[in-house]
């Protein structure tokens, strides 16, 4: 199931507290000052809440790009 891009975009903007024009669909950890190690945890927590999923602790470090996060959500069946 494809991930709802609008929901993901809103979650990223809210979690990282960035301006909408800072969002890019190919963002990855370190691309923005806001997406540091703490921002990464905030992002995962926000995405979990938004999409109603739980990310295993072992998977958190692997989700260091929006592409990886998008794929993980799709694998969990949390696309829409």
Residue pair 46/15 in contact by the 8 Å Cβ criterion: yes
Spell out the residues 6+ positions from residue 61 whose beta carbon is closer than 8 angstroms to its own: none
Match 């470090």 to its residue by tokens.
Answer: 61
Mean pLDDT, rounded, for 1-11 = 91
Rounded CA separation 42/10 (Å): 14
Look at 38 and 80; give whichever has higher pLDDT. 38
The structural domains of the chain, with segments of one domain joined by +, span 5-75
Q: Which residues of 39-77 are buried (b: 16+ CB within 10 A; e: fewer)?
A: bbebbbebbeebbeeebeeeeeeebebbeebbebbeebe
Decide if pLDDT at 58 tops 90: yes
pLDDT recorded at residue 2: 82
Q: Look up the CATH architecture of domain 5-75.
A: Orthogonal Bundle (1.10)
pLDDT, tens digit, 9 for 90 and up, residues 16-57: 999 999 999 999 999 999 999 999 999 999 999 999 999 999
């Amino acid at each position: 199931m494809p991930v709802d891009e609008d929901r993901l975009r809103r979650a990223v903007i809210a979690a990282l507290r960035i301006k909408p024009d800072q969002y890019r669909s190919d963002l990855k950890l370190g691309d923005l000052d806001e997406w540091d190690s703490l921002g990464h945890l905030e992002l995962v927590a926000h995405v979990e809440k938004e999409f109603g999923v739980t990310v295993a602790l072992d998977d958190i470090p692997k989700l260091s790009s929006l592409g990886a996060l998008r794929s993980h959500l799709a694998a969990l069946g949390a696309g829409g």
